Amino acid sequence: MSRNNKKESLLVLDLSVCEPRKSGWFSASFFLIPFPQSLLAPYDKEKLDMSTYPVENIRNFSIIAHVDHGKSTLADRLLEITGTIAKTAHNKQVLDKLQVERERGITVKAQSASLFYNHEGVNYLLNLIDTPGHVDFSYEVSRSLSACQGVILVVDANEGIQAQTVANFYLAFEAQLAVIPVINKIDLKHADPERVEKQIEKLFDIPIDECVRISAKQGTNVEKVLQKIIEKIPPPQCNTADPLKALVFDSTFDHYRGVIANIALFGGEIQKGHKIVSAHTKKRYEVNEVGILTPNEQPTHKLYAGQVGYVIAGMKEVTEAQIGDTLFLYKQPVEPLPGFKSAKPMVFAGMYPVDQTEYNNLKSALEKLTLNDSSVTIHRDSSLALGAGWRLGFLGLLHMEVFNQRLEQEYNMSVILTAPTVPYKAILSSAKLIKEYGKAEITIINPAQFPDKISVSEYLEPTVLGTIVTPQEYIGKIIVLCQDRRAVQKDMLYIDEQRVMLKYLFPLNEIVLDFYDALKSLSSGYASFDYEDAGYQAADLIKMDILLNGNPVEELATIIHSDKAYATGKLLCERLKDAIPRQLFEIAIQAAIGKRIIARETLKAYRKNVVAKCYGGDITRRMKLLKRQAEGKKLMRKIGNVEVPRDAFIRVLKREPDK
């Protein structure tokens, strides 16, 4: 039996069809069968001995930065310098393994890699976690930081401090991690590292002499970053002699080996054959394989306290590997680690299979993908027009788009995604409703569940504290934009002579759709935006229904602020008029709040010219024919149902208008 590496297949000799020959030779047939590389991987590699790296020689760190400030490029250079990957011109975004990451040029998923580095004659084990920079994936950043003792804060020498730089710094600061400021892209023509150093000192109170100037693309001064990691970042505070305590901070699903859990060891050791227990599910497993990521899986004999790696323990169900779970040895229970605060969905959208026969396949794909992205919440939902589906909660619009793209690329699933909404709350005053729900405050993620104003004492809408960093010449336009979105200014700070940081309290539904695009457009692309949850506030909310010939269409109901009702109603009616095919009778498309109609469009009927055959003669003949036609149309309108075709729903519910 021989192995063919390139084709990932096995050459199988079929001895069952061997025939003896007069010459003394045998003839045999052979054939190739596909064989997954992942199954052969454990047998290809020599297992590493991790006992040579005591806790004091381990450094666990993350790279954090704003989008496009060079995190992944710096990670590539660190991997090259430490000999983890070979130096080639093709080493770009090595840790960005997903197709969507390479296509969009952004990091979506935090990826870890173990580096081996010799400093002053001592061998060190450095565990690097490359994190996303976009605000929608800040949950990935906070999870990654839980497995670290320090961070490299990367700032672009040309752009300076941006909104997400500030947000990510405070995440690291709150976690009490060591911060190494690194100024990247010093090779650029307009780079101004002195200005950026002053910004870092003013905003973060970090002395200028602690900043390291590098060019990750050219590899300039990157070696100095490695030395700073060893000097500034403390080793993990844990002991191999303690009982096993491992934090699951990420997980992926392999079709052949089940769940692969990424773990950080806070005590003890783990090896093949150990019986481990999950603190969350209380289930018992036997460890099949442990190892480190370099950045591909590299099996090891054992993993010890302070190290970061992966474990495969025969978890078959995607629900078994809960992120934030603690693993411990059977009959050696430990106090579970605090884990992570659960992600708070900011945007909800309905997801339905294009064909209802694909429902079960889509369900399976969603389960596997949500294991890899645990910040997505799922609720069963159904719609008269679109059939059975789910209501999914995302951290933001980009998160929703990326999730949809991954579903398409990784699981070959096409879905219908409805217009995104945000979660509202209502404080009930009706005793009957309180008894029905079992509580006085309810959360509304679907407009169909919006309670009547009579039975509610107050509606609440979610708010966010937004941070905008912009060159000062755009301040006027940006303030006007924020005021249009019902935002309240909280703070304004000049970072230096050119850049200003604005803080605003925004209603979430005002920024969720197109605020970021409008901001980039007004500031010629220079302004950056980041937001964090700021709780709920009272608001004058209303439910707007869309009526077709007086009948409400449940799928098109929306919750909006009363100030925006007229404009939104008019837009929806116009788009429906274009989307619904004409009938033999007239259709009235109306936007209504309660009993009050606030906008209307009329879709004219197909019309037959009944007087075409009348030429000359008396006018009464013509009038009689027209009257009979009008009566027929009136009757048809009474008994005819307006059926909105599925593609019309999709066009109206799309995030962007066709115009």
71 marked as part of a ligand binding site: yes
186 marked as part of a ligand binding site: yes
241 marked as part of a ligand binding site: no
490 marked as part of a ligand binding site: no
67 marked as part of a ligand binding site: yes
The tokens of 341 are what?
Answer: 């605060």
Contacts of 434 (CB under 8 A, 6+ apart): 428, 440
647 marked as part of a ligand binding site: no
Distance (Å, rounded) from C-alpha 374 to C-alpha 320?
12
Distance (Å, rounded) from C-alpha 278 to C-alpha 323?
11
Could you tell me which of 395, 383, 456, 384 has the C-alpha nearest to residue 422?
395
Distance (Å, rounded) from C-alpha 508 to C-alpha 421?
10
280 marked as part of a ligand binding site: no
The tokens of 509 are what?
Answer: 């539904």
68 marked as part of a ligand binding site: yes
Distance (Å, rounded) from C-alpha 345 to C-alpha 394?
5
What one-character DSSP code corresponds to residue 319? G
* Sign, CA torsion 588/593/594/599: negative
The tokens of 359 are what?
Answer: 């429902």
Contacts of 651 (CB under 8 A, 6+ apart): 575, 578, 579, 658
Helices (H) and strands (E) in the chain, counts: 16, 34
130 marked as part of a ligand binding site: yes
Q: What are phi and psi of 206, to 5 degrees?
A: -105, 125
Query: Do the Cβ atoms of 69 and 156 come closer than 8 Å?
Result: yes
133 marked as part of a ligand binding site: yes
521 marked as part of a ligand binding site: no
Distance (Å, rounded) from C-alpha 270 to C-alpha 291?
10
Distance (Å, rounded) from C-alpha 426 to C-alpha 450?
8
36 marked as part of a ligand binding site: no
654 marked as part of a ligand binding site: no
Residue 480, classed as helix, strand or coil, is: helix
Q: How far is CA 598 from the centre of its chain?
A: 37
379 marked as part of a ligand binding site: no
134 marked as part of a ligand binding site: yes
Distance (Å, rounded) from C-alpha 575 to C-alpha 554?
17
Q: Is the peptide bond before 507 cis (omega within 30 degrees of 0)?
A: no
Binding-site residues, in ranges, read 65-72, 130-134, 184-187
Q: Which residues are annotated as a binding site for GTP?
A: 65-72, 130-134, 184-187
